[in-house]
């Protein structure tokens, strides 16, 4: 979808274009020349056999005999949508030619990316549960996400690639010639390397606002409560 003049990836499948994300993740996980393959939707269990969720893509390095010698986890994080998507789609499908240039921006519940929910309800829990197990196993994690989403995250303490436990692979959609037409192509524009715990702490820690604003809100609610007449209720006789 478009937001603030640019495309935002809302479907994780869009990141699979030519499987660039696996090549970029493999360059972080394994040394040059390593033999590797990718496995999708691999279930990850905790110590008690309970599922911590599925890993989007597991990259597996193997030796000459095909035995696993190393692995890393690649998580793909698209952006949640807030608002109603079905209504404009239904309206467009009623007459695609007539409604091709429709403007839905003034309608209620106009769709928009929900970056806060994407980080707090999806990305952070993934890092806590799945990432926590991988971190305990001393295995690396890569996170593929859209530039617009990454820009909404708090500053992450960075380290050198050699010392990193997480690689943040940042992609964007850019117009490129495809014959006589132009199409949006997935392009990696940045990669950021971090340790596991500092990055998780940065994402899950809320930045406090002005305590005076909160006290003012409490005062207003207290004043409203004081101005409201108490409600008197009479209990009916139990017998």
Q: What are the tokens at 31?
A: 């040394």
User: Which one-letter DSSP state was computed for residue 204?
Assistant: H
- What pLDDT score does 233 carry? 58
d(CA 120, CA 122) in angstroms, rounded, equals 6
What residues have CB less than 8 Å from 57, skipping those under 6 apart?
A: 21, 22, 25, 38, 39, 40, 73, 74, 75, 76
Burial class (CB in 10 A: 0-12, 13-18, 19+), 61: middle
d(CA 110, CA 82) in angstroms, rounded, equals 8
Tell me the pairing of strands 166-178 and 181-194: antiparallel
Q: CA 73, 77, 83 angle in degrees (round to 5)?
A: 160
Q: Phi/psi of residue 206, each to 5°?
A: -75, 145
Q: What Cα–Cα distance (Å) separates residue 40 from each residue in 16, 54, 84, 123, 212?
A: 11, 9, 30, 18, 49
Instruction: Read off the pLDDT of residues 83-99 as tens digits, 9 standing for 90 and up.
Output: 888 999 999 999 999 99
pLDDT category at 16 given cuts 50, 70, 90 is: very high
- What pLDDT score does 4 carry? 87
- Bridge partner list, 37: 60
Instruction: Read off the pLDDT of residues 164-223 as tens digits, 9 standing for 90 and up.
Output: 999 999 999 999 888 888 899 999 999 999 999 999 999 988 888 899 999 999 999 999
d(CA 137, CA 201) in angstroms, rounded, equals 19
Name the pTM for this structure. 0.83
- Percent of residues, the chain, with pLDDT higher than 70: 95
């Amino acid at each position: 979808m478009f937001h603030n003049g640019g495309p935002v990836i809302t479907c994780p499948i869009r990141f699979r274009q030519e499987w660039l994300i696996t090549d970029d993740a493999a360059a972080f996980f394994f040394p040059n020349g390593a033999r590797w393959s990718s496995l999708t939707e691999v279930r990850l269990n905790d110590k008690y056999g309970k599922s911590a969720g599925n890993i989007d893509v597991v990259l597996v390095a193997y030796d000459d005999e095909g035995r696993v010698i190393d692995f890393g986890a690649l998580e793909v994080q698209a952006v949640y949508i807030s608002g109603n998507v079905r209504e404009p789609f239904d309206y467009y499908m009623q007459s695609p030619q007539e409604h091709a240039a429709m403007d839905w921006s003034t309608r209620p519940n106009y769709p928009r990316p929900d970056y806060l929910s994407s980080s707090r309800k999806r990305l952070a829990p993934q890092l806590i549960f799945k990432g926590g197990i991988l971190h305990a196993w001393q295995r690396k994690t890569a996170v593929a996400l859209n530039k617009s989403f990454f820009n909404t995250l708090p500053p992450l303490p960075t380290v050198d690639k050699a010392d990193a436990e997480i690689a943040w692979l940042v992609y964007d959609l850019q117009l490129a010639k495809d014959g006589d037409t132009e199409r949006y192509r997935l392009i990696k524009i940045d990669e950021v390397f971090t340790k596991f715990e500092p990055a998780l702490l940065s994402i899950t820690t809320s930045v406090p606002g002005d305590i005076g604003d909160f006290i003012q809100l409490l005062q207003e609610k207290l004043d409203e409560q004081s101005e409201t007449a108490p409600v008197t209720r009479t209990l009916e006789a139990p017998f």
